[in-house]
Structure 1
Amino acid sequence: MNYAAEIYHVHHYSFRTTFEDGHTHRMFGITTPGILRGNTHVHHYHGATTLDDGHVHYYGGVTGPAIYLLRGGHVHYYQGVTTFNDRHRHAYAGNDSPSYP
């Protein structure tokens, strides 16, 4: 298997944060290309949430390893918390869109 060829791809992600202080935010973006980790790979991601309730939050991290799908392709799991703004923060979790490199 050619791992370099397999990881040269990105994923799109779109999540809704947890409901805190009376509102949620959306977060969406595109990861960096894959980064080898043993016999799998991960991606970095970062960005700012949508402007809701008069403010934004920032987030970033590293995805989980590839989760291979039965019909081909794979996804990655995301989990984290946003920055603390306007006296609160939000959590988020979910999978990104499938990639078929």
Structure 2
Amino acid sequence: MKKIPLKGIVFESGEGSADHAHKMYVTAGDGQPVHAHPFTGTTSFDAGHAHSYAGTTGPAPSRVEHTHAYHAETTFNDGHTHIIHGVTGPAIPLPHGGHLHYFEGNTTVNGSVPHAHHYSGRTGEANAD
């Protein structure tokens, strides 16, 4: 796996304790501007129900071969939620110059009758930079 140097802006948390955190807003990776993709979908129908999900992928450098990490919590259905997470496939160029990514996987196990759902989809488009 290639390590990509990142550049960004770090903001102080404003807390004075040793257990504080900083937020970093990534602005460039491997010398390239970064971008992210929206994604939405519905899981498979299992145990009498399905769940919806929506989110935005993690950032990745533009104009180079790349994938994106993604993470989202499903809607609350039948008394519970599930988590989806993973890494998209590589960028798929589009005729007008943008690109998208495919993703798929299985949710975490949850519910009064423990079960998981399958999900798959494609991200929204990212414009050419």
Q: State the TM-score bracket (shorter-chain normalisation).
A: 0.7 to 0.9
Which residue matches 2:81? 56
Matched, 1:65 2:86: no
Residues 35, 43 of structure 1: 8 Å contact kept: no
Taking the aligned partners of 1:25 and 1:19, their CA distance within structure 2 comes to 8
Which residue matches 2:44? 18
SS, match of residue 103 in structure 2: strand
Percent of aligned pairs with the same amino acid: 43
Residues 77, 96 of structure 1: 8 Å contact kept: yes
- CA, structure 1 residues 83+35, in 2 after alignment: closer, same or farther (shift >3 Å)? farther
Q: Counterpart amino acid of 2:66?
A: H
TM-score (structure 1 length as normaliser): 0.88
Matched, 1:42 2:67: yes
Root-mean-square deviation (CA, aligned residues, Å) is 1.7
TM-score (structure 2 length as normaliser): 0.69
Matched, 1:30 2:53: no
Residues 32, 61 of structure 2: 8 Å contact kept: no
Instruction: Quote how far apart the aligned CAs of 1:47 are.
Output: 1.8
Structure 2: runs of 5 or more not aligned: 1-29
SS, match of residue 59 in structure 1: strand
Instruction: Quote how far apart the aligned CAs of 1:67 are.
Output: 0.4
Instruction: Quote how far apart the aligned CAs of 1:4 are.
Output: 4.0
Structure 1: runs of 5 or more not aligned: none
Q: Counterpart amino acid of 1:19?
A: F
| Structure with more helix by fraction | 1
Relative contact order (alpha carbons < 8 A, sep ≥ 6): 1 or 2 greater? 1
Matched, 1:9 2:35: yes
Q: How many equivalent residue pairs?
A: 96
Runs of at least 4 residues off by over 2 Å: 3-6
Matches within 5 A, 1:66-85: 66-85=91-110
